[in-house]
Amino acid sequence: MSPIVKLLAQRIALGLLLLFLVSILIFAGTIILPGDVAQSILGQSATPEALANLRADLGLNDPPVQRYFSWLGGIMQGDLGTALTSGQDIASSLGKRLKNTLFLAFWAAIISVPLAIFLGLLAVRYRDRWPDKIISAVTLASISIPEFLIGYMLMYIVAVKLRWAPSVSMINDGMSLGEKLNSIALPVMVLTLVVLAHMMRMTRAAILNVMQSAYIETAELKGMPMFWIIWRHAFPNSIAPIVNVVMLNLAYLVVGVVVIEVVFTYPGMGQYLVDHVSKRDIPVVQACGLIFAAVYIGLNMIADVVSIVANPRLRHPK
């Protein structure tokens, strides 16, 4: 088992290193580029004195490296800084929103992952027949329209014309689970649709790849029934590619969530981020950017870890 442990350790260390470098990139991206935080808070009419005071308060006069490490040190202890625009603690306002975002993403994932795998299998089973063709046509269409437009189209049809679900997704702690689910029905539907297309397409490709292996032919020539072949021969070899597909698309979901929250004015992290980008509230942007990137890197890391663990060559070394 030692090579596998070594590889896993390497992969996790790489993930952490990547996260560290990304934090540098996000920090550097917001300070190297032209633009002055103090100026953007106080506006063009601010007096030079007020500007200088604010700069000193914000620590903008310190060397960038020192500012970076005090920022990073704060994050390590759960202190994300204070928002420039509202003066509120970022960590506490983010906490609730992060929970809401994860709630939304969770339900989208719960519905889309099994559905995508099922439809992917269906497409493989009926390859080049009409179920496969319909699935690929729908996929092409949904890949060709941006997420927010799918959102408005569904809102127009489902919420406005059919009146089956609310067009705005407000949730708060006082609501029961059922009320919450009713409230997020539309955004979940949109996210599912968006992710489903990609996931289905990739699942189909991954399974087809396995089904075309010579060992599947061997099993067929042993006279094994189709279900047995898929379950006993194709499935164990498909775990790694399918997990990869799922993780990649969950990472994609993270991005989709940002836009969809804006469409349905859902009180999550994405809307918070977009709001504060327009307000040029840099500490909030940095914090949100880092969290989104961390989730993205984390999901990719899980995918790699699963493929390492599922690889028989690594699990049973010579």
Interactions with other proteins, residue window 37-96 (CB under 8 A): none
In the chain, count of helices (H) and strands (E)?
15, 0
Sole window of 3-11, 80-88, 114-122, 248-256 interacting with other proteins (rule: CB under 8 A): 248-256
Do the Cβ atoms of 281 and 83 come closer than 8 Å? Answer: yes
> Interface with other proteins by CB under 8 A: which range of 94-102, 113-121, 156-164, 200-208?
156-164
* Spatial CA neighbour of 279 closest among 93, 85, 88, 94: 85
- Residues whose CB falls within 8 Å of the CB of residue 135, separated by 6 or more in sequence, listed in order: 119, 122, 123, 200, 204
Q: What is the C-alpha to C-alpha distance for residues 88 and 215, in angstroms, rounded to an integer?
A: 61
Task: Verify binding: residue 233, other proteins, rule CB under 8 A.
Answer: yes
**Which of 117/250 has CB closer to other proteins?**
250
Report the C-alpha gap between 235 and 228 in whole angstroms.
Answer: 10
Q: For residue 236, what are its two tokens?
A: 């164990």
Binders of other proteins in range 165-224 (CB under 8 A): 167, 213-215, 217-224
Full DSSP string of 55-112? HHHHTTTS-HHHHHHHHHHHHHTT---B-TTT--BHHHHHHHHHHHHHHHHHHHHHHH
CB 29 within 8 A of CB 312: no
The residue from 39, 136, 148, 205 that contacts other proteins (CB under 8 A) is 148
Rounded Cα–Cα distance for residues 116 and 194 (Å)? 11
Give Cα 287 to chain centroid, integer Å. 16
- Give the tokens for residue 94: 């983010």
Residue 30 or 70: the one with the smaller Cβ distance to other proteins is 30
Among 46, 262, 305, 309, binds other proteins (CB under 8 A): 262
Among 48, 173, 177, 318, which residue sits at the site for other proteins (rule: CB under 8 A)? 318
Task: State which of residues 101, 112, 244, 300 lies at the interface with other proteins (CB under 8 A).
Answer: 300
Minimum distance of other proteins from residue 164's CB (angstroms): 14
Query: Is residue 156 a contact residue for other proteins (CB under 8 A)?
Result: yes
Contact segment (CB under 8 A) with other proteins among 63-71, 98-106, 111-119, 140-148 equals 140-148
Residue found by looking up tokens 């980008």 in the block: 277
How many residues touch other proteins under the rule CB under 8 A: the total is: 74
Binding other proteins (rule: CB under 8 A), the pick from 52, 277, 305, 309 is 277
Shortest separation between residue 73's beta carbon and other proteins, angstroms: 20
**Residue 98 engages other proteins in binding (rule: CB under 8 A):** no
Choice from 25, 56, 170, 208 touching other proteins (CB under 8 A): 25
Stretch that binds other proteins, among 44-52, 91-99, 116-124, 282-290 (CB under 8 A): 282-290
Quickly tell me which residue has 């009419």 as its tokens: 45
